[in-house]
Amino acid sequence: MKMTHVWYQLQHRTMAAIASRATGLWHFAMQAPQPLRDPSAREAIHQSLRSLFERDLQNVEAGHYPMELALNFPYLEHAAAFPAAVADSPRMLWKRFRDDFAGLPDDVDLSSFPHYYRRTFHWQPDGWLSERSARIYDMEVEFLFWGAADVMRRMTLPALGELKAKERPRVLDVACGTGRFLSTIHALLPHARLYGVDLSPHYISRARENLRHVPGGVGLLVENAEALPLEASSFDAAVSVFLFHELPHDARRNVMREAWRVLAPGGRFVICDSLQRADAQALGLRDFSEWFPAAYHEPYYKGYLGDDLAAALGECGFAVESSSCHGVSKVVVARKPLTAARA
Ligand SMILES: C[S@@+](CC[C@H](N)C(=O)[O-])C[C@H]1O[C@@H](n2cnc3c(N)ncnc32)[C@H](O)[C@@H]1O
């Protein structure tokens, strides 16, 4: 086994061991419902993560992305965010025990946001609407997924490989959050012109800081992905990571139609999001996927579980090329047909 592979496995196993204990304590404190006590349900999660890490290394071997990307685990960044997350936890617990998912910071004008957005997700005390929320988000997601969040995001990269040969491809990240995945795309496609859209002004501010190193900058917009102020047919590819499970049914369709509109004919839309019901069932992860939305307060997740992404993309005019499962996520790759006509 190569030394880089040993180092890779060591860092992921260490992170998984720390994060599984920390999240176990957190579930206990939050009194999360239906804990996954069944050993076969837990083994299914461990197996899905082992397969994910193997796939990550296979992608490196296949030349989809360099090993540096797979080894680039931001310990220091996450360690720096840890104290703020711990300081936030009493507010989270307070919200959870009061079932208060509507209270948001007083200084925010909620009227400019869609109704489904005016609430907390995952018991984050401020929802998506504070600087503090944006500061601790990446670390919390990485812990929640036991160190596999970036790995799951990377599973979209092979589908963007065709842009390596294109002169100055334009790539859009729909709901880019703090810009974490845009930074990864920049590492893979340094010649690409990158854009990101997110509804949270605080997350976009954070993205601006995180993407300062990109020469020429990244076009970042605070906008609703359901109505993008971007020209039709102006992007070579679009990606979206961990957005669709947080949207109600109609918003999911609106975002897909907007992605279709702004893509040039032949452009790909690559979605990475949670497993859906049929995927989870096939992988023995059904208990996990039913437990997750209740434990983490994901109000639209139940609807998402049964709303097959590939079928929805087909409804919105895309030609679906593949759908594959990775860890507790799936990647769906769809293309706007060259002779595109809206469905
Ligand atoms: C779970 S986070 C995912 C962020 C990022 N893509 C990642 O990989 O971590 C969901 C993001 O979707 C954004 N969002 C939710 N609804 C949106 C909408 N209608 N338009 C744009 N962004 C939206 C939120 O502000 C948040 O940053």
Confidence of residue 15 (pLDDT cuts 50, 70, 90): confident
Q: How many CA atoms lie within 13 A of 25 on its CB side?
A: 8
**Structure-derived torsion over alpha carbons of residues 292, 297, 298, 300, reported in degrees to the nearest 10:** 120
82 closest CA partner among 28, 122, 12, 138: 138
- Give the number of the atom of ligand 1 that is nearest the alpha carbon of residue 153: 8
β-bridge mates for residue 220, sequence order: 196
- Packing angle of the helix pair 39-61, 286-295 (nearest 10 deg): 100
The per-residue pLDDT for range 35-61, each reduced to its tens digit, is: 566 778 778 888 999 999 999 999 999
Could you report how far apart the first and last alpha carbons of the chain are, in Å? 50
Confidence of residue 2 (pLDDT cuts 50, 70, 90): confident
Asked whether 200 lines ligand 1 (CB < 6 A), one says: yes
**pTM of this structure:** 0.94
Asked whether 224 lines ligand 1 (CB < 6 A), one says: yes
ipTM reported for the complex, 2 dp? 0.99
pLDDT at residue 99 in the model: 76
> What is the residue with the minimal CA distance to atom 8 of ligand 1?
241
Asked whether 300 lines ligand 1 (CB < 6 A), one says: no
Exposure string for 196-221, b = 16+ CB within 10 A, e = fewer:
bbbbbbbbbebbeebbeebeeebebb
pLDDT at residue 288 in the model: 83
pLDDT at residue 22 in the model: 81
Asked whether 183 lines ligand 1 (CB < 6 A), one says: no
Using DSSP's 3-state secondary structure scheme, residue 185 falls into helix
Asked whether 225 lines ligand 1 (CB < 6 A), one says: yes
The per-residue pLDDT for range 243-273, each reduced to its tens digit, is: 999 999 999 999 999 999 999 999 999 999 9
